[in-house]
Amino acid sequence: MTQARKDLEIGFGIEPHMYEITQEKINNYSRYVFHGKDTKNIHTDDQTARKAGFPRTVAQGRYPIGYLSEVMLSFFGMGWIQGGKLDVALVAPIFAGDTITIKAEVKDKVQEGEVTRIMLDVWLENQRGERVTVGTASGIVHDQSSGLVAR
Amino acid sequence: MEAKVKKKFSYETVEVGQELGKKEVVITDEMIRTCAGAIESSHPWYLEDSPFGGRIAPPTIFDNDTLRVLDENYDRFGSVHAKQAWEFKNPAKVGKKVTLTVRLTEKYVKRGRGWIVMEMVAVDEDGLEICRSKHTSLMSLKGGITE
């Protein structure tokens, strides 16, 4: 995967990352949230989801944000852990059985002292091309000479 | 010990500005593996070693505990995660104790429905800020725990 660099041009798109959102993965995330317990809620139970007005079970909002952070980690490396920023709106539900693709495009580069902040538009698309999560992310690229301080 | 009485989770009853609470979390190997597994990550910094000296946790690892602090205060049933912001400042290293401070910072009505904003700051035992987050939720839903 391409690594964040100062010379990436505005409009550069990072490689899309695709994830299948299966019911099993949603259940697994729910067990993670509830410390290993199986629970019945709009994520894990169709009937509960329908009562809440959804056609079927929906993925937890922050579950795909975890994927997005992983993609940013691959792109920015240490500059995500020390300096990463993410700001997204979850504009449409992600349903069990959907396939989401994470996309990002360089929109700006800002000098911050000895480092450069690369700013991206980021979004998650479902299999119909609808944007379900939209926002911005940014991370730090260090000048060759400045290096990183790993504390 | 007497159980804490939870407040009703409604637009009228949530109190903005108050510190909801602090939560101490020790980053364990199990936590890292479970969190990484839930997001299908086998990143070597989580599972083997990192340039920061030792394994680190996925940066979004404190989201669960942030919501737990809200749930310790309010009888929350049915809310929708609508927006999320993160600032990552330093790695959460395995073995470190991290203190999360959670506040309700805003509530507002939009399109006739109530929304709340919750902010969290995570600081490790050395006083190093790890991250901060801002979590916006739509308060009402017909039924079901959503987050």
In this predicted structure, what is the pLDDT of residue B78? 67
Quote the pTM value. 0.92
E-only strand ranges, chain A: 17-20, 85-90, 99-112, 115-125, 131-142
Which residues of chain A make contact with B43, given a CB cutoff of 8 A? Answer: 70, 73
In this predicted structure, what is the pLDDT of residue A96? 95
Query: Do A106 and A50 belong together in one domain?
Result: no
Res. B2 pLDDT band, cuts 50 70 90: low
Query: Do A109 and A42 belong together in one domain?
Result: no
Sequence-distant (6+) residues with CB within 8 A of A19 are A64, A67, A99, A100, A101, A102, B40
Which range of residues forms the domain containing residue A1? 1-21+59-151
In this predicted structure, what is the pLDDT of residue A111? 95
CATH number of the structural domain spanning residue A140: 3.10.129.10
* Interface residue of A37, A42, A112 to substitute, partner B, most B CBs within 10 Å: A42
What total number of domains does chain B contain? 1
Cβ-defined contact of B81 to A43 (cutoff 8 Å): no
In this predicted structure, what is the pLDDT of residue B141? 56
Cβ-defined contact of A52 to B143 (cutoff 8 Å): yes
Q: What tens digit of pLDDT does each residue of B62-98 get? A: 998 998 898 889 887 667 899 999 999 999 999 999 9
What total number of domains does chain A contain? 2
- The proportion of chain B whose per-residue pLDDT surpasses 90, expressed as a percent, equals 67
Higher pLDDT, A85 or A37: A85
Query: Do A14 and A27 belong together in one domain?
Result: no
Comparing A37-51, A73-87, A105-119, B120-134, the range with the smallest average pLDDT is A37-51
CATH number of the structural domain spanning residue B72: 3.10.129.10
Match 């099993």 to its residue by tokens: A24
Q: How many CA atoms within 13 Å lie on the side-chain side of B36? A: 20
CA distance B55 to B58: 10
Which range of residues forms the domain containing residue B16? 7-27+62-138
In this predicted structure, what is the pLDDT of residue A38? 86
- Please name the residue of chain A whose CA is at the shortest distance from the CA of residue B66: A33
Residue B143 has pLDDT above 60, yes or no: no
What is the arithmetic mean of pLDDT over B40-58? 97
Mark out chain A residues that contact chain B at CB-CB < 8 A. Answer: 19, 25, 28-29, 32-33, 39, 41-43, 45, 48-49, 51-53, 58, 60-63, 65-67, 69-70, 73, 78, 80-90, 148, 150-151
Query: Do A47 and A94 belong together in one domain?
Result: no
CA distance A80 to A72: 7
Query: Do A12 and A28 belong together in one domain?
Result: no
Query: Do A95 and A41 belong together in one domain?
Result: no
Residue A151 has pLDDT above 70, yes or no: no
Residue B146 has pLDDT above 50, yes or no: no
Closest by CA to A26, choosing from A41, A47, A10, A14, is A41
Residue B144 has pLDDT above 50, yes or no: no
Query: Do A112 and A147 belong together in one domain?
Result: yes
Cβ-defined contact of A48 to B51 (cutoff 8 Å): no
Sign of CA dihedral A147, B91, B97, B116: positive
CA distance B8 to B77: 10
Longest Cα pair distance anywhere in chain B, in angstroms? 50
Residue B82 lies inside a defined structural domain of this protein:
yes
In this predicted structure, what is the pLDDT of residue A148? 47
Higher pLDDT, A34 or B21: B21
Higher pLDDT, A104 or B10: A104
- 3-state DSSP assignment of residue B82: strand
Q: Are A80 and B88 in contact, with CB atoms under 8 Å apart?
A: yes
Q: How far is B1 from chain A (nearest CA, A)?
A: 23
Supply φ then ψ for residue B126, to 5 degrees: -90, 5
Q: Which amino acid is at B74?
A: Y
* Interface residue of B39, B47, B94, B131 to substitute, partner A, most A CBs within 10 Å: B39
Instruction: Assess: ipTM above 0.95.
Output: no
Residue B130 lies inside a defined structural domain of this protein:
yes
Query: Do A41 and A74 belong together in one domain?
Result: no
Query: Do A93 and A124 belong together in one domain?
Result: yes
Burial of residue A26 (number of CB atoms within 10 Å: 0-12, 13-18, 19+): buried
Residue B49 lies inside a defined structural domain of this protein:
no
Q: Are B74 and B15 in contact, with CB atoms under 8 Å apart?
A: no
